Amino acid sequence: MAFRTLLSSLGVNAPRVETVLVSSAVRPGGTLAASVTLEGGGADVSVERLGVELVTRVEARETTETRWTNPGVVVSHGTGAFELGAGETREFRLDIEVPWEMPVTHALGRSLKGARAAVRTTVEIGKAVDRGDFDEVAVHALPAQDMCFEAFRRLGFRFDEAEVKRFRAHGGINQTLPYCQELEFWFPREYGRPRGDQLEVMFIARHDSMDLITGPRGPYPFTYSEMERERFVRWLDGHCRSAWGTGVSRGRSPDRGAGRSSG
């Protein structure tokens, strides 16, 4: 990102800001390294706060399906007040720890419709706030989450879109963020669902495991080290047929069917 002039109301005296990310791709649980450079303008200014936020698109905050102007803050870092002299340059380096529950924007290497994330730089000068442009980032699914996407694909489910919503944990779900990502899949014909019926899926990820929630059912806990691709596909097929379909296959509990390696 190139230098951008702050707060047009300050005129020719306005300072400039530049945010640079070492990498714009990350996974939940990873780190985004960033540097922010403030360059003073034609006069001294009092900076009340310099903030760097990791944000995600939240469906309820936007007015259309594609709008991306009022995101939800996931992680926030900020400085205290300081003076920025005319022509002075200040550089701030920081590491943004991405939560394990961070909504993903990419799965199986492809972007997800409706999913957006970014690093946003906020500068407060003289009671005015400049929120700047978003530096978009790609949050790639964890390997276990990719495994889930692949299983749905193999069973004939078609991904529709992702929506981040405010979500309050219940029923034994160990959740820390106020948001949760809802992934919508079209049911395949084989499950006997009415045309246009969708399955809403949530992942609540942790460093060693995750909870899978399918519609109103769950949470189903899975440990990463014990997940095995073929067994997970069989479990998911049986689970969906048992819960929604008309087939004869029956699901097994995750700790017996999907979570144990074949070895």
Tell how many helices (H) and how many strands (E) occur in the chain: 2, 19
pLDDT(207) > 50: yes
Please give the Cα distance from 123 to 36 (Å, whole number): 11
In total, the chain counts a number of residues equal to: 263
What are the tens digits of pLDDT across the range 231-258? Answer: 999 999 999 999 886 544 433 444 444 5
Condensed to tens digits (0 to 9), the pLDDT of residues 23-65 reads: 999 999 999 999 999 988 888 888 999 999 999 998 877 666 6
Cα–Cα distance measured from residue 57 to residue 186, given in angstroms and rounded to the nearest whole number: 22
Residues 77, 82, 87, CA angle at the centre, nearest 5°? 110
Q: Is the pLDDT of residue 101 over 60?
A: yes
pTM, two decimals, is: 0.88
Average pLDDT over residues 114-134: 84
State the fold for domain 4-139. Answer: Immunoglobulin-like (2.60.40)
- Alpha-carbon gap, residue 87 to 171, rounded angstroms: 56
HSE-up of 72 (CA within 13 Å, CB side)? 21
**Where are the domains positioned within the chain?**
4-139, 143-243
Asked which of 33-47, 82-96, 205-219, 236-250 is least confident by mean pLDDT, the reply is 236-250
